[in-house]
Amino acid sequence: MNTYRLNNIDLGSFGFIAGKQNESNIALTGCFDMPARIGKTFHSWGDEHSIEPYVSASEIQFGGRSISLTGYIYGSNRADCQSKATSVFKQIDGFTDLVPLTCKWGTYQVYVNEPVLGNFLGDHALKISFSFREPVVEMNGVLPVATGASYGIDGISFKELGGVLVSSNGGQFNRPAPRSQTVNVWGKEGYAVTKTETNELNLKIFIDQSGLVDFKNKISSLSALLAAPGMRVFVPERGTPFSFFVKDGFKVTNVFSHVNRMTGMLECKITGGNVGVLALLPPVVNAGNDYTLDPSINQILITSASVTPRSGALIVSVLWELAYTEPFGLSLNILNEDTLFPLVKGIDNRGVYHLKLTARDSNGNSSEAFTKIISRDQPITNVFPFTFSYNLL
């Protein structure tokens, strides 16, 4: 059974048993949502079509998200149920700051921000719903790596993002509506010819993974992609590419958890913008972990590097180089230096080898990152200096 703890107190001690959200088989909803941005996210210039998105790193901040928990408080009679519920309410009344809500699905720092709703089902069960607010959401997902997919987002297919695109409804093929007008003319109808607003599409993505860990990782990765600076590019299987940014986050509903499968429906509104006024952002390059080797092991396969394109670009080349060494003058060989995961050989001398990874995208921008290989002496094996003349039992 999934245990729910609020401020480290097991709600089960008050007779609480988790229920199911509508069109779901888990008791929690909102816990997988991407929060909406806060502050000004775009500007609508009166003399230009579309809008100017605010998508530089310094302009992107996020708010919180709402989480709901539903279940039942069981008791010997109505009075017992009400008494147990009152005990829960007293615990909540004592909170003076955020408290952890902990369960199988994760841990969330929350406060109760709406009435706790109760409704009796017979004389022995009180259906109860808690509404929480998580004001600070950790968005630490790993950016997915573009593979040059023909359809998807920024060269990443929806399968690689975790699921299947169900629909992309909206005005992609429409001319956006003109901006609203306020014109008063005495004695007749006034009018004004205005510039257009911007198009928006509603994406529905069915997330289908083998379990909770993969489910959460894919959603966090997609959240990281949509939260990254710059514009994204959605390429449908049929239609034209659509340059967009996300200002309202996304919601994950219809969550079902089974032994070897977890699914949910992710719904996200994407907003088009005038990319002509934006600087194209270079790729994000991560050269990966540092490595420590003994001289007898003179080679290593780099496995933790990653490159993520931005501004709708694709990665066209990567290159590994030996930048410098400590002490100066050491050498090594990099096999497959034009791939993301090269084999480095010939690390025969003690020292530190600094490697540089450079990636260039289809917009002509490039970025670089560094990692190092530390070659050290053989480890010293300490031998216990004493022997015993008797057997140890």
Nearest CA to 107 out of 141, 144, 134, 147 is that of 134
Strand partners, 285: 307
Joined tokens for residue 27? 């008791």
DSSP string, 58-120: GG--B--EEEEEEEEEE-SSHHHHHHHHHHHHHHHHT--S-EEEEETTEEEEEEE-SPPEEEE
275 vs 146, more confident: 146
Q: What is the pLDDT of residue 276?
A: 47
pLDDT tens-digit map of 31-59:
999 999 999 998 776 655 567 888 888 89
Q: What residue type is 368 in one-letter code? A: E
In this prediction, residue 176 carries a pLDDT of 59
> CA–CA separation, 282 vs 276, rounded Å?
16
Pairing of strands 291-293, 366-375: parallel
Mean per-residue pLDDT of the chain: 86
Residue 172 has pLDDT above 80, yes or no: no
Query: Per the structure block, which two tokens stand in for 222?
Result: 């997609």
pLDDT digit string, tens, across residues 284-334:
899 999 999 876 778 899 999 999 887 667 898 999 999 999 999 999 999
Share of the chain above pLDDT 70, in %: 85
Q: What pLDDT does 51 receive?
A: 79
* Over residues 12-25, mean pLDDT: 94
pLDDT band at 61; cut points 50, 70, 90: very high
Could you say which architecture CATH assigns to the domain 5-49+61-134?
Beta Barrel (2.40)
Q: Where in the chain is the domain with CATH 2.40.30.200?
A: 5-49+61-134, 152-277
- The CATH code that applies to domain 152-277 is 2.40.30.200
In this prediction, residue 127 carries a pLDDT of: 94
Share of the chain above pLDDT 90, in %: 60
Residue by residue, what is the 3-state secondary structure of 153-171?
ECCECHHHHCEEEEEEEEC
CATH homologous superfamily of 284-375: Immunoglobulins (2.60.40.10)
Tell me what pLDDT residue 145 has: 81
Task: Count Cβ neighbours within 10 Å for each residue of 121-157 and write b for 16 or more, e otherwise.
Answer: eeebbbebbbbbbbeebeeebebbbbeebebbbbbbb
pLDDT for 76 beyond 50 = yes
Q: Are 100 and 45 in contact (CB under 8 A)?
A: no
Cβ-contact 357, 319 below 8 angstroms: yes
CATH 2.60.40.10 residue spans of the chain: 284-375
**pTM for the predicted model, two decimal places:** 0.67
* Residue 379 pLDDT greater than 60, yes or no: no
- Quickly state the pLDDT bin for 277 (edges 50, 70, 90): very low
Cβ atoms of 34 and 223 closer than 8 Å: yes
Q: So what's the pLDDT on residue 46?
A: 61
